[in-house]
Copies of this chain bind each other. A is one copy, B any other.
Amino acid sequence: MSTKTAGLIIIGDEILSGRTLDKNTQTIATRLSEIGIQLRQVQIIPDVIDTIIETVKHFSPAYDYVFTTGGIGPTHDDKTAEAIAKAFHVDLVKHPDAYATLVDHYEGEENLNEGRIKMTMIPNGATLIDNPVSAAPGFKIQNVHVMAGVPNIMKGMLDNVIPTLEGGEIIKTRSIIVHKKESEIAALLQKTQEDYPQVDIGSYPRYVEGRHEVSIVIRGADEGLIESIEKRIRDKTN
């Protein structure tokens, strides 16, 4: 089974100014890992049309799947749909299903002001991603999945996207917590990694309540092998 790859583009001045902590990366990375899609790169970029276009053009051919979050709301600073249309050289058109959804959600066409109509304008040829939280949809064009930036809305859209993706080889993971300084176990980990190049061994130190600990993470496709490496490391660090 082959490896599937993904790239993620986080669009939003509010992340780059420090105002908002990005939580979407972790959510998307976790959900993709579960179905065997490896997130290879994330770029956090501002709400600038040319930057969005350039980044999408770079990502789309580089990964099996591309995801974006942010910039599809009703206000003037939401520029993602326009940028994606330009990146794929298509027009932004009023999507009949998106329009019908918003007429229904806002209880009548007379309540669709300019900002709400903006959220029905989708790049020509894109398919919609349902938004179970606040109605205004995301969309998919070629391999690019365009989702909201607000975390709970993004999660709702992601729930609808995940089943449409073809997963790859699922990476199994085992974690071991060792109460030592990382520099005390570095040689053991290096030797183990050299002995077993089929797996990836990661080492993540923390300092918790006055005590050093290291989380050792073993990743790979062969669960039996991972278990035997786990046992080896446990035996040598006890």
The interface of chain A, by Cβ under 8 A from chain B, is 10, 13-23, 25-33, 38-47, 73-78, 113-116, 118-119, 133-134, 150, 152, 171, 173, 182-187, 189-190, 193, 200-207, 217, 219
What is the CA–CA distance of A121 and B97 in the complex, to the nearest angstrom? 60
Pick the 6 closest A-B CB pairs, nearest first.
A115-B186, A18-B30, A18-B29, A42-B44, A76-B190, A75-B203
Chain B nearest CB, measured from A88 CB (Å) = 22
B25 and A23 contacting across the interface, CB-CB below 8 Å: no
Q: Which residue of B lies closest to A48 (CB)?
A: B40
B184 and A77 contacting across the interface, CB-CB below 8 Å: no
What is the CA–CA distance of A133 and B205 in the complex, to the nearest angstrom? 13
The answer to whether residues A186 and B150 also contact, given A42-B44, A45-B41 and a CB cut-off of 8 A, is: no
The answer to whether residues A14 and B73 also contact, given A26-B21, A114-B187 and a CB cut-off of 8 A, is: no
